[in-house]
Chain A
Amino acid sequence: DTEVTQTPKHLVMGMTNKKSLKCEQHMGHRAMYWYKQKAKKPPELMFVYSYEKLSINESVPSRFSPECPNSSLLNLHLHALQPEDSALYLCASSQTSGAISGANVLTFGAGSRLTVL
């Protein structure tokens, strides 16, 4: 299995809703990432988990709450979002988040397209 699987593919939510995005990989990777991508813009790093511990939070507002229940799963809990949070949310994984011999390539999921009304 060489894939990162994200669900749901599409999500529409109101500003008062609580929802979650889910990400799963079975490649034995120990680093997992959330990126946010708006139309015609590059992916922007939000969070990095290394060995199930949060290692990087790029000053993301608290209405986004990440969770890593185990080495294969990564969730992003959403609450009280704003319309400007509408974007494609990409999950990625890699062998580690730090130094390693070789490329240590990030493998991305297909993304969850979020629309906040």
Chain B
Amino acid sequence: GENVEQHPSTLSVQEGDSAVIKCTYSDSASNYFPWYKQELGKGPQLIIDIRSNVGEKKDQRIAVTLNKTAKHFSLHITETQPEDSAVYFCAASRAGFQKLVFGTGTRLLVSP
């Protein structure tokens, strides 16, 4: 089955810096890659997603890149703010299957 690895497990940056989180997946049939933000005591919130027919997608300060050949995808947050502090999860889903396979999470801390 699919296996998603995520790095780093923790990331500390200063406000205004950029943050990059990387994930790799094992199943070449996976074709949908969402990113979730989870704050303490809350459920995961979708922040951006990318499909296999696209190499990059941006939404304001957030961007995601996908390299299908290498089977890895990354989340880029620019101009970080303290409210970006949370745990971020990448996930992958295979065509024809609804379930998401999640990475182990990255705890992002943005210091003022």
Q: Decide if A and B are genuine partners.
A: no
- Which residues of A are at the interface with B, using a C-beta cutoff of 8 A? none
- Which residues of B are at the interface with A, using a C-beta cutoff of 8 A? none
